[in-house]
Structure 1
Amino acid sequence: MIRVALAVALGGAVGSVLRFLASSWVAAQWPRHFYMGTLAVNLFGCLLIGLLSGLFLTRTELPLELRVGLITGVLGGFTTFSSFSLEILKLMESGRLFEAAGYLLCSVLGGLLAAWCGLLLARLAS
């Protein structure tokens, strides 16, 4: 169990750093649309979690540490629901209600679609 916990911790550190780098890059490119980094990270994370989950269903011989480290650790650190929630509130408080609603819909519906696409890709690969 300690090896699995260490894999999650290491993966979480990696995912968090990747999220920081991606969000910082997007914010530097488009400061007014600061939330787009979180949106991109969340959609890509949803795609990856669908893909990895689907692959891991057929690749049970892969070590548990690897599977849990990637999904719970890396993707848990990489995706950002708490940041997403705060950014929606900031948009709403600044009167950008249409943008907040669009961001919310794109994130939720896009995330579901991305996870489904990842799962389909995994099924095609097996």
Structure 2
Amino acid sequence: MRKYIFISLGGAFGAVLRYVIRSIPTPCYNGNIPLNTLIINIIGSFILALVLTGANEVFKLEADLKLGITTGFIGAFTTFSTLCKETVSLLSNGAYLSAFSYLTLSAILGITAAYLGVVLESAAANIVNKNKKNIKNTVDAKEE
């Protein structure tokens, strides 16, 4: 039951944050790339990769909290369906270059953000593990 509470709370927070970011005025249609959705999905890709990669190493997240962040928050925050709807709107308005650019940017920047999340967590895990080894070596040296 606890995991459902975490997922629900994360989902509520993610949905509200998405609404707030989507409410910020930016050029969204008339041949322009919908920047709000693009930013939301890139941030979500980064956070998801960071949390899932680091769940066991750096962040030490318990399973229910990890579900709340990934399935709840990121699931409600990011929005593939909106990306698809906005792309169709761009195509319907004859903004073919913008539609293609939007899909291409979404994929490339989303994958890049996820990659950076993995790299950042891996670097942090290496630092944490080095510090643990240094502390252990210091303690072992003092015991001798």
Query: TM-score under structure 2 normalisation?
Result: 0.80
The one-letter amino acid of 1:91's match is L
> Equivalent residues in 2 for 1:94-109 (5 A)?
94-109=93-108
Provide the rounded CA distance (Å) in 2 between the counterparts of 1:21 and 1:30: 16
SS in 1 for 2:55: helix
Q: 2:27 aligns with which of 25, 30, 34?
A: 30
Kept after mapping to 1: 8 A contact 2:26/2:36: no
Equivalent residue, structure 2, for 1:47: 46
Aligned match of 1:12? 11
Cα distance, 1:60–1:117 mapped onto 2, change above 3 Å: closer
Greater helix content: 1
d(CA) in 1 for partners of 2:36 and 2:26?
Answer: 10
Tell me the secondary structure at the aligned position of residue 58 of structure 1: coil
2:56: which partner in 1?
57
Q: Write the letter of the residue equivalent to 1:43.
A: I
C-alpha distance after superposition, 1:5-28 (max 9, x if no partner): 111111001000000101111xx2
Kindly provide the amino acid, as one letter, of the partner of residue 19 in structure 1.
R
Q: Which residue number in structure 2 is paired with residue 68 of structure 1?
A: 67
> What is the Cα deviation at residue 31 of structure 1?
4.7
Percent identical among aligned pairs is: 32
1: CA distance between counterparts of 2:56 and 2:26? 38
Larger Rg: 2
Which residue in 2 is equivalent to 1:91?
Answer: 90
- Name 1:3's counterpart in structure 2: 2
CA deviation vs aligned residue, 1:42-99 (integer Å, no higher than 9, x gap): 0011011111111103258532111110011001110000000000000000000000
CA shift in 2, pair 1:46/1:60, >3 Å:
closer
Q: CA RMSD for the aligned pairs?
A: 1.5
Q: Secondary structure at the match of 2:37?
A: helix
Equivalences, count: 123
Instruction: Measure the CA separation in 1 of the matches of 2:59 and 2:17.
Output: 27
